[in-house]
Structure 1
Amino acid sequence: MTDLNKKTPASAAGSDGSGSEPLLKVEGLVKHFPITKGVLKRKVGAVQAVDGLTFDVRPGETLGVVGESGCGKSTMGRLVTRLLEPTGGKVEFQGRDITHMSAGRLRPMRRDIQMIFQDPYGSLNPRHTVGGIVGTPFRLQGVKPEGGVKAEVQRLLELVGLNPEHYNRYPHEFSGGQRQRIGIARALALKPKLVVADEPVSALDVSIQAQVVNLLDDLQQELGLTYMIIAHDLSVIRHVSDRIAVMYLGKIVELADRNSLYEAPMHPYTKALMSAVPVPDPRRRGAKSERILLKGDVPSPISPPSGCRFHTRCWKATQICATTEPPLLQLKTGHQVACHHPENGEDQAPGDAPLVADVITVKSAEPAAEKPEAEKSVAAEPVAEKPVSEKPVAAEPVAVAEEPSAPEEPVSSGETEEAAEPASDDAAEPASGDAAEPSSDDAAASASDEAAEESAAPSTGTKAEPKE
C-alpha cells in the first residue's frame, strides 16, 4: 500500500512557493452563462459560475479544489483545459496565453493538458472497445508510439492495473472502478504535463476509492505528473494534495498548503467545512472540532449577494462584509484568505459596525421581550382595583350579563318590575358612571368568581331594563 502522505521532491518544492515558474497561471478567470428568454433568445440574466479566480500550479505539485456542489469547481476545470471559452480573465500554460486560442492552435497543446472526467459511465463510448478508447489520442494527435498503438495501449492498461488481454472488451463489461482506470489510462496516453481530475472517485465505492487514489499517487511519483484534483471529499483531498483551494459561490475564499489549512483554517466557511468531516470516535471530538451549522441556503449564482458572498451565512459578518468584497490576501506565509475577519489571523477591519447577525437577533428579540411585560401590566390593573371599590366590580358582571339576556323579553310579572326599580337606582347608576370605562378590561381579565356569584342575584331584576 502506498503511503498517501509521502510526496515527491518536486511536489514539495512547488508547495513552498519557490523553484521553477508555474506550469499553469490563472488570473481573474470569469465564466458567465447567459440566461435567454423568448423566441429571439433575449438575454435576461447570467449565471455567474466562476467570477474572478486567481491561482497558479507549479510543476510536480497537486492542487486540490474543494467546495460544495454548485460552487463552480467543475466549470473551473473545463476552463483551464479550454473545453469552455472563458468570459474574461487570463489562462497561461507554460508562459503561453491560451485564453482565447483557436481550436487549431490548441490541438498541439492538448497532449500536454488532459482531463479525467467525473462520470466513469458516461465518459466512455459504449460502442467502442477499450483498445479504441485508449488509442484514440494517438490517432487524433498523429502520434505513432514504438511497437505500435496496440502495444502501447496494453502497456497503459497494465500501468493502471487492468489486464492487457481486455483490449477488445467493451466498457459495459467492466465495473465502475475499472472504468475509471480506463479513463485514467486514456488521459495518460500522450504523457501530459498537467492532469485535471474532476471528482475522480466520487462515483466509486469506498473500497475502490482507495485503489484509485493510490494509483494517482503512484503515477505522479513514477511519471512526475502535475495534478489539479477537484473534489468535495475533504478526506481524499487531504491525502493527495500539496495545496488546497476552497471555493464558495464562484470564488476562491482560501488558498493554503495542506497542513496549514487543516490545522488552522482562517476563513469561516473553511472552518465550517472542516467541522463537517466525520470523526471515527465521537469521544475525540473536542471544543475545536464542534460541528458548525450554517444558517440559510447558498445564494443563487444568478444574483449573488454584494460584498463578501458568504456574509449572508457568516456568524462574524459586519457591515463592511455586506458592502466591500474582501481581496484574496496572503496573511501568513503561503496562506491566502479573502475575509475581513479571519479566524486565526489579524482582523482586517477592526472596530467595524455591529455584527449583522446580532442586529437581526436584537430586532427579533425586542417584541418578544416587551410582550410579557405588557401582559403583566395589563393583568395587574384589575388586581389593584379590586380592594379599592368592590361595588363597581360587582356591577360590572351585571352589565356584561345584560347583552346575552336582552333577547329574553317574555318577563312581565309585576314583582320583577318592582324589583327592577331599586336595582336600577342603586346598581345601574354607578355602573354607568364609575365602572363603564374599566368594564372591558375587567371582562378581559375575567373578574373573580366570588364577585360574579354575588352580582348574579340582583342581576335578575335588571333583565327588564331593555324593555323600558
Structure 2
Amino acid sequence: MTKPEKSPGSEQTAGSTTAPGESTGTAAEPRQGEPLLKVSGLKKHFPVTKGLFKRQVGAVLAVDGLDFEVRAGETLGVVGESGCGKSTMGRLITRLLEPTGGSIEFEGTDITHLGVRGMRPMRRDVQMIFQDPYSSLNPRHTVGAIVSAPFKLQGVQPEGGVKKEVQRLLEVVGLSPEHYNRYPHEFSGGQRQRIGIARALALSPKLVVADEPVSALDVSIQAQVVNLLDDLQEELGLTYVIIAHDLSVIRHVSDRIAVMYLGKIVELTDRQSLYDTPMHPYTRALLSAVPVPDPRRKAADGRERILLQGDVPSPMNPPSGCRFHTRCWKATEVCRTKEPPLVPLAAGHNVACHHPENAPDQEPGDTKLLREAGVSKS
C-alpha cells in the first residue's frame, strides 16, 4: 500500500541515496515482499522474587505468545496502551532481551538463543532506535564517536575512512557534517533523535526497530522525524517495526498494524482495513479516542466515544479467557472461559475475538452478556 505523500512543507533529507556498507557503501536490499522476520509463540516472563533467598513467587507476563511476520520493505506498526508489552517485544526481536519461549527467525535463521558471539554478525542487519534521545546517547562522547561506534565494534572500515562516512550519515539524517565534534548536550531533542537514527543506519541494517521514536519530541519536530524515517526507507530499502501509542503517527508510516493488549496481539491487518473496519472492540475503543479537531467533521463521521471501564489488569495475574473481557461491553461467558485465537476473519485481517465487530461471531449462540447476567468479570 502506498503511504501518504508528504506535504509541500515537509522536511527533505540531504546527502547520497546510497546506503553505507563495508567497502562499496552499498547494501544488498532484501527482495520486496518476502518474510524478513518471523516470530512464533514469543514469550517473555520476568520473574518476581521475594525474601532473602530471592524465592520466585510469580512472574510478569510482559509478552505472552506473539505470532507475526514482517516482510522485506514494509513497515509494521505496533500500538497499544502503556504496559501492553510493545517495548519488550521490540527488545526481544533485536535480542536485547532473552526470550522465555517461542522462536525468532531472521532471514530463515533462528536467532532465538544466539549468544553474544553468534549475534555479533546479526547486529549489522538488525538495529534499534530508542525512545529517549536524552538517555540513549553518551553525554561524554562526541557525535563522531557515537555514530562511529558500530564501525569499531564490528571491525568495519568504510571506504574513505570512518570520519568521512560518519559525516555523510549526518547529512543523510539532516544534520551538518560540522556537528562531528560536538556533544549531545549541544543539540535539541529532535537533533539528538537524528543522531540516534544515524547510529542505527551506520552498518546498513535490513531491519530497524523504532521504539516510540517521536514520543519524547515536540509535535512540530515529530512530523519532521516521521517524514525522515519515511524518506530513508524509500532511499535505503529499509524494513521497519515502529512501536508507538500515537495512532496518527502509526497511520502515517505503517503498511500493516498490530494492536497489542496485555502481552498479546488482538488484531493484525493492513492500515486501511484497521481504520475503516476495525474488528476487535479494543481497537474500536482506541480509534474512538483519537481527537478530531473539527467538531463538524466529528459529527459527520458519527463516531461514538467509547469509555472503557476499569483499569488494565495486572500482567502478573491476567484474566482467564480473553484478556480484554473485563473491560469489554460485548463480553459473554465464553469470553471469560475460553481464550480466542488470532485467526483471519477477512483477507489479511487477523483478529482474536469471540464477538468481533464487522464480522460473524467466532462463537455463535453465546449471546448472554456478562453485564446483563450479573456475572463478575474478574
> TM-score, normalising length from structure 2?
0.91
CA distance in 2, matches of 1:293, 1:58: 35
Q: 1:353 to 1:290 in 2, by over 3 A?
A: closer
State the match for 1:150 in structure 2. 163
SS at match of 2:362: coil
SS at match of 2:331: coil
Residues paired across the two proteins, number? 350
- How far residue 284 of structure 1 moved from its aligned partner, in angstroms, is 2.0
User: Do structure 1's residue 330 and structure 2's residue 329 form an aligned pair?
Assistant: no
State the match for 1:464 in structure 2. none
- 1:372-387 equivalence runs, <5 A: none
State the match for 2:290 in structure 1. 277
What are the superposed Cα offsets for residues 40-94 of structure 1, whole Å, 9 maximum, x if unpaired? 1100000000000000000000000000100000000000000000000000000
Equivalent pair of 1:4/1:214 in contact (CA under 8 Å): no
User: Do structure 1's residue 71 and structure 2's residue 84 form an aligned pair?
Assistant: yes
Equivalent pair of 1:320/1:353 in contact (CA under 8 Å): no
Query: What amino acid is aligned across from residue 327 of structure 1 in structure 2?
Result: P
What are the superposed Cα offsets for residues 156-184 of structure 1, whole Å, 9 maximum, x if unpaired? 00110111101000000000000000000
CA distance in 2, matches of 1:358, 1:188: 55
CA distance in 2, matches of 1:312, 1:361: 11
State the match for 1:340 in structure 2. 354
- How far residue 21 of structure 1 moved from its aligned partner, in angstroms, is 3.1
CA distance in 1, matches of 2:153, 2:367: 60
Equivalent pair of 2:171/2:177 in contact (CA under 8 Å): yes
CA distance in 2, matches of 1:81, 1:311: 32
SS at match of 1:285: helix
User: Do structure 1's residue 124 and structure 2's residue 123 form an aligned pair?
Assistant: no
Query: After TM superposition, which residue ranges in structure 1, 4 or more long, deviate above 4 angstroms?
Result: none
- How far residue 288 of structure 1 moved from its aligned partner, in angstroms, is 4.1
State the match for 1:14 in structure 2. none
- 1:200-279 equivalence runs, <5 A: 200-279=213-292
State the match for 2:19 in structure 1. none
- 1:24-103 equivalence runs, <5 A: 24-103=37-116
- 1:300-379 equivalence runs, <5 A: 300-352=314-366, 354-360=368-374
SS at match of 2:127: strand
What are the superposed Cα offsets for residues 270-312 of structure 1, whole Å, 9 maximum, x if unpaired? 0000000010112222464111000011000000000000000
CA distance in 1, matches of 2:75, 2:81: 20
What are the superposed Cα offsets for residues 300-332 of structure 1, whole Å, 9 maximum, x if unpaired? 000000000000000000000000000000000
CA distance in 2, matches of 1:81, 1:219: 20
Greater strand fraction, Structure 1 or Structure 2: 2
Q: 1:19 to 1:166 in 2, by over 3 A?
A: closer
State the match for 2:303 in structure 1. 289
What are the superposed Cα offsets for residues 97-139 of structure 1, whole Å, 9 maximum, x if unpaired? 0000111011011010000000000000000000000000000
> TM-score, normalising length from structure 1?
0.73
Identity %: 78
Rg (Cα) greater in structure: 1
Query: What amino acid is aligned across from residue 219 of structure 1 in structure 2?
Result: L
State the match for 1:431 in structure 2. none
Equivalent pair of 2:3/2:254 in contact (CA under 8 Å): no
CA distance in 1, matches of 2:373, 2:191: 55
Q: 1:4 to 1:170 in 2, by over 3 A?
A: farther
State the match for 2:148 in structure 1. 135
Higher RCO, 1 or 2 (CA under 8 Å, sep at least 6)?
2
CA distance in 1, matches of 2:117, 2:65: 27
SS at match of 1:100: coil
CA distance in 1, matches of 2:32, 2:53: 53
SS at match of 1:289: coil
Query: What amino acid is aligned across from residue 114 of structure 2 in structure 1?
Result: M
Equivalent pair of 1:79/1:85 in contact (CA under 8 Å): yes
User: Which of the numbers 205, 208, 213 marks the counterpart of 1:195?
Assistant: 208
CA distance in 2, matches of 1:136, 1:19: 30
CA distance in 2, matches of 1:269, 1:357: 17
CA distance in 1, matches of 2:249, 2:372: 37
- How far residue 338 of structure 1 moved from its aligned partner, in angstroms, is 0.2
SS at match of 2:366: coil
CA distance in 2, matches of 1:316, 1:95: 40
Query: What amino acid is aligned across from residue 212 of structure 1 in structure 2?
Result: V
Equivalent pair of 1:160/1:184 in contact (CA under 8 Å): yes
Query: What amino acid is aligned across from residue 184 of structure 2 in structure 1?
Result: P
Equivalent pair of 1:34/1:45 in contact (CA under 8 Å): yes
State the match for 1:5 in structure 2. 4
CA distance in 1, matches of 2:5, 2:360: 32
Unpaired runs of 5+ residues, structure 2, are 7-30
Q: 1:245 to 1:306 in 2, by over 3 A?
A: same
SS at match of 1:23: strand
Query: What amino acid is aligned across from residue 200 of structure 2 in structure 1?
Result: A
User: Which of the numbers 120, 128, 131 marks the counterpart of 1:115?
Assistant: 128
User: Which of the numbers 34, 42, 55 marks the counterpart of 1:21?
Assistant: 34
| Residue range with higher mean Cα deviation, 284-293 or 98-107 | 284-293
Greater helix fraction, Structure 1 or Structure 2: 1
What are the superposed Cα offsets for residues 179-214 of structure 1, whole Å, 9 maximum, x if unpaired? 000000000000000000000000000000000001
CA distance in 1, matches of 2:261, 2:87: 13
User: Which of the numbers 194, 208, 213 marks the counterpart of 1:181?
Assistant: 194
